[in-house]
Structure 1
C-alpha cells in the first residue's frame, strides 16, 4: 500500500511576481528526485544576467514529474515517476534545490507549493525554498528533427576518445568543439586543437523510429557539452539524435537535451591521416603508459619526452643536465634501423589514455613530423587498406637529446 500523502489543501498561490503560480503537490523517492535534479541542473549557467535561468522548472501531472533547465547554449528535460497528489508547476533555484536533495533523509519526499515557497519534507526534515516568477522564464526549446539513433555506451566511449584533442582556447571557439558527421550508417567524431587530431568512427542507425532516412550532416558541437551529454547517457540503450540548422538534440529514456551548434567547420583530416612511407613501431600499451608517467616527472617547462625506437626496444628519456630519467621497454620496429621522436608528455598521455587496446601502434613520418597512434589487439587482421575506427594524430617535436 502506498504511504499516505501530506494531503495539503492547496488551490492557488501567489508567485514571487505577484501573479498566480499553479498549486502542486507530489510524493517521490529521494534518490529518484536527487538524480533527476542533478541531471537537469547540469545545464544551468554559473552566472547569468537573467536570474531565472538559474532555476529549474518542476511540473507534476499524471504520475510523472518533469524537471527542466536551460541557459542560452543548452537545455535539459527529464521525466521520472512521482505520485501526483495535485498537478501543477513551480520554478525554484536549481543548485539550491540540488543541495537540499543531497542532504534529505533516504526516505520518500513530500513536495508541495505552500504560499510563496516550495516545501520538501522527509522523515522529520523540512525545507522551504523561494519560488521564482514564471514571467521571465523562456520556453524550453523543442527537439529538432530526429535523424536516427546510436548505442549510448558506444557513443559515450567514442566522444571520450576524441574529446581529449579538443581545444581549450575560447578565443577559437570552433576548435573547442567536436565534429559530428553523419554519412549513411556511419558516424564520425573528430576534434583538434591544431597540435593533435583525434578521429573516431562508429555505426549508427539512420531513419530510426519512423523518421525518413537522413541525408549527410556535418556539424560542430561543444566538446564540453557533448562530453557531459554522452556521459549522462552512457548507462545503455539507444540515443535518438536530432539536428536542425542551429542545434543538436539527444533523447534517451525520458531524458532530453539540446545544445547550440558552434559556428564554423573543423579542418578535414583525410590528407593529414595519409601516412605513406611511415616507419611502424608497436609496444604494449599498459607498460608504455606507466613508463611515460614515470619518465615525464623530470620533463619540466614544456620539455619533450623522447622515444628512441630500435630493433626490439624503445628507450624513453626526458630531462636535461641535472635531472634526467629513462626507461627501456620491449618494442617492435619496421621500416628503419632506429628512429628518435619527441612528444609533449601531456599530449602523449592523452593519446595513450584514450585507447583500451592492449597494444599501441605508431606510424612515424620522422622527427618533427606527424605521428599516428592507433590501438591493436593481438591476433586481429585488419582488412587491406582499411583505417582503424579510432585514430589519434600527434605532431612530434625535434629531438633535443
Structure 2
C-alpha cells in the first residue's frame, strides 16, 4: 500500500474505527485496525467480532494494499504531523512508514490476512430517516438493561407490525416501545440488536437537520447466519 492522505483525515478515521476494536481478548488481531485501499479511497475498519465500524477517507492511492496496525500508536504518530499531507508506504514485512516534510516514523504491524473477516453488505431491507432513527433510539435505549444477568434485556427488539418497523426495549422494570411508521420489506425478520451496538450507532447519527449528512438515509441491511438467525 502506498498512499498520500491528510493526517487529520486519517486520524479521524482511525479514531472512529478504533471504537469497535476489541479491548482485550484471545484474538490480538481484533485489537488493531485494518487499513486498505478500496476503489481509490482508504477504508479503515475496526471490529470486536460483534460490532464493526468501517470509515472511508479520500486519499491519493499510488499502490493498492492493506495493513493491520495498532490504532493508538498510529494516532499518536499522526498527531505530530499537524494535519499535513503524509505519505504512507510499506516498511518491512507488515509495517508502515509515515513521512512528511522531513519527519518520519515507522510502525510495526501484523499480517492483514489474519484479520477477522467482516461480512460484506447483506440484503437491503429499508431506508430510514437518520433524525427519525435518532429520536426512536433515544426513546428506547434508556429502557434497555445494562446488567447482563438476562442478556436478552440488554438488546433492542426490531420487529415488523402491519408492514412498519417497531422498536422495543425493557429492563424488567421499564418498557419502551416506538412504532416508527417506517415501511420495511416483507423479508425483514424480527431480531434483537445489542443496545451497546445501537449506542455506537446513535453517536454516529446526525443531531440536527442542518448537519451535512442529515439528508442521507440510513440503509438497513440484514444478514442471516448459516442457521437462519438474522
Checking the alignment, whether the CA contact within 8 Å between 1:105 and 1:122 is kept in structure 2 is: no
Instruction: Give the number of the structure whose residues are more often helix, by fraction.
Output: 2
1:92 and 2:69 are equivalent in the alignment: yes
- Taking the aligned partners of 1:120 and 1:45, their CA distance within structure 2 comes to 25
**Is it true that 1:180 corresponds to 2:154 in the alignment?**
no
CA distance in 1, matches of 2:133, 2:122: 19
Segment drifting more, 186-195 vs 100-109: 100-109
Deviation of the 1:157 alpha carbon: 2.3
Deviation for aligned residue 1:111: 1.4
Q: Whole-Å Cα distance in 2 between the matches of residues 109 and 187 of structure 1? A: 45
Structure 2 residue runs of 5 or longer lacking an equivalent are: 207-212
- Partner-residue secondary structure (3-state), 1:204: strand
Deviation of 1:205 after TM superposition, in Å, equals: 4.3
- How far apart, in 2, do the equivalents of 1:226 and 1:246 lie? 20
Residue number among 236, 243, 247 corresponding to 2:222 in the alignment? 243
Pairs within 5 Å for 1:268-287: none
Q: 2:111 aligns with which of 125, 133, 155?
A: 133
Distance verdict in 2 for CA 1:192–1:106, change over 3 Å: same
Distance 1:83 1:49, change over 3 A: same
Partner residue, 1:215: 187
Q: 1:172 to 1:124 in 2, by over 3 A?
A: farther
2:197 alignment counterpart: 225
Q: What is the CA-CA distance between 1:41 and the residue it aligns to?
A: 1.5
Following superposition, the deviation at residue 185 of structure 1 comes to 5.2
Aligned residue in 2 for 1:56:
33
Instruction: State how 1:42-53 maps to structure 2 within 5 Å.
Output: 42-53=19-30
Q: What residue is the counterpart of 2:141 in the other structure?
A: 163
1:184–1:239 distance in 2 versus 1, CA, 3 Å: farther
Question: 2: distance between equivalents of 1:69 and 1:197?
Answer: 32
Q: How many residues align?
A: 220
Secondary structure in 2 matching 1:106: coil
The structure with higher relative contact order (CA 8 Å, sep 6+) is 2
Counterpart contact for 2:30–2:46, Cα < 8 Å: yes
Mapped partners of 2:81, 2:138: distance in 1: 33
Deviations 1:87-143 (A, max 9, x none): 211111233323433453122122111224212234554322102023432222222
* CA drift at 1:173: 0.8
**Unpaired stretches in structure 1, ≥5 consecutive residues:** 1-23, 207-212, 248-259, 262-401
CA 1:87–1:26 in 2, change beyond 3 Å: closer, same or farther?
same
TM-score (norm 2): 0.85
Alpha-carbon shift at residue 151 of structure 1 (Å)? 0.9
What's the C-alpha RMSD, in Å, of the aligned pairs? 2.3
State the TM-score, normalizing by the size of structure 1.
0.51
**Residue 166 (structure 1) shift:** 0.8
Aligned counterparts, 1:6-85, within 5 A: 24-60=1-37, 62-85=39-62
Q: Partners in 2 of 1:219 and 1:245 — Cα distance? A: 10
C-alpha distance in 1, partners of 2:102/2:46? 29
Alignment of 1:356-371 (within 5 A): none
Distance 2:163 2:77 in 1: 44
Higher strand share: 1
Structure (1 or 2) with the larger CA radius of gyration: 1
Runs of 4+ in structure 1 off by over 6 angstroms are none
